[in-house]
Amino acid sequence: MSYQYIKLEEKLPPKEYRSNIEPTWCPGCGDFGVVTALTKVFSEEQFDPTALTLVSGIGCSSRLPLWMNSFGMHTCHGRAIPAAVGARLAKPEIPVIVTAGDGDLFSIGMEHFPHAARKNFDITVICMDNRMYALTKNQQSPTSRTGYKGSLTPYGNIEEPMNIIEFAIACGATFVAQTYSGNPKHEAEIIQQAVEHKGFAFVNVLSPCPTYNKIDTFNYYKGRTIDINKDLGHDPTDRAKALELARHVLDHDNDPNAKVMLGVFWKEEKPTFEDKVLALKQKYGASDNPDWDAILNRYRP
């Protein structure tokens, strides 16, 4: 038995999933594409806005729950995943989606990702990857390319960027994909697959920052992307091939002829943490509404 998400009998138009708060992102920000993709996916899935939770941390991307007509949590910096796990366990019939940035997820929030992935909580984690910190005015992030000149690295970043696709697969995520804000159709398709996946789903969205990052721009990505599933015929259930492709996901930083890889790298079906808990409850006859007085009386003198 699996938990089933609450859904409406009739489809709502995408605009019904938007709040009346206008986004404060800079014009041209790639994160607008994620909002559009999410509202389209929610409409297609017929999600009830009152039975939907979006969780974010801190950063430009983490403002996203404010623009949505759903329950949302704007948590502390780097703490979106543990808050999302708590929401998911409390209400396993309600879809929980994390929207955060590359710094929020893979710098201060790094320690939460591998454990949530390996336990296979049924949540969707969307990283809006602009490859730098935008909200705090252009510092390098874990995904910043070598040589990137930020406000704290005026002579260029001397570190190697983190390969978060390879990392997600190695951590045990059961769905790992990458998409791009400049391709709204592909973006919505990938996010919908992630939302429908039962288990820990991670989607990296290449989301250009027009204000600070003058390298990884829409013009940079234009004509350089390739769909690894449609164009290369990649089978996302082939773990060895997924890791092989993932190892080359950042080749485009140094090789002008290398393509920017989009698509589903890895996908597997396995029991979620929530379903394992449910199985234990059924096996041992646990109740969701226990008689607490009877339980406490066992330990009272």
Residue 151 belongs to domain with CATH number: 3.40.50.970
Domain contains 265: yes
Range of the domain at 279: 14-297
Q: How many domains does the chain have?
A: 1
Binned at pLDDT 50, 70 and 90, residue 57 comes out as: very high
Choose among 263, 233, 269: nearest CA to 246: 263
Cα(182)–Cα(164) distance, integer angstroms: 20
Q: In the predicted model, is pLDDT for residue 1 greater than 60?
A: no
Cα(216)–Cα(144) distance, integer angstroms: 10
pLDDT of 14 reads 97
Q: In the predicted model, is pLDDT for residue 281 greater than 90?
A: no
pLDDT one-digit tens code per residue, 127-165: 999 999 999 999 999 999 999 999 999 999 999 999 999
- The sheet with strand 225-227 has its strands ordered as 71-74, 53-56, 96-101, 124-129, 201-206, 175-180, 260-267, 225-227
pLDDT one-digit tens code per residue, 194-228: 999 999 999 999 999 999 999 999 999 999 999 99
Chain-centroid distance, C-alpha 250: 19
Percentage with pLDDT > 90 across the chain: 89
Domain contains 2: no
Q: In the predicted model, is pLDDT for residue 289 greater than 90?
A: no
Domain contains 61: yes
Domain contains 274: yes
Q: In the predicted model, is pLDDT for residue 2 greater than 80?
A: no
Cα(246)–Cα(164) distance, integer angstroms: 9
pLDDT of 293 reads 85
Q: What is the mean pLDDT of the chain?
A: 95
Rounded to an integer, the average pLDDT of 51-70 is 94
DSSP letters of 111-179?
A: THHHHHHHHT-S-EEEEEE-SSBTTTTSB--TTPPTT--BTTBTT---SPPP-HHHHHHHHT-SEEEEE
Domain contains 19: yes
pLDDT one-digit tens code per residue, 70-124: 999 999 999 999 999 999 999 999 999 999 999 999 999 999 999 999 999 999 9
pLDDT of 202 reads 98
Binned at pLDDT 50, 70 and 90, residue 7 comes out as: very high
Domain contains 1: no
Domain contains 269: yes
pLDDT of 4 reads 83
Q: Do 106 and 113 contact (CB within 8 A), yes or no?
A: yes
Q: In the predicted model, is pLDDT for residue 292 greater than 90?
A: no
DSSP state of 69: S
pLDDT of 300 reads 86
Amino acid, single-letter form, for residue 21: I
DSSP letters of 13-63?
A: PGGGGB-SSPP-SPTT-THHHHHHHHHHHHHHHTB-GGG-EEEE-SSSGGG
Domain contains 8: no
pLDDT one-digit tens code per residue, 185-202: 999 999 999 999 999 999
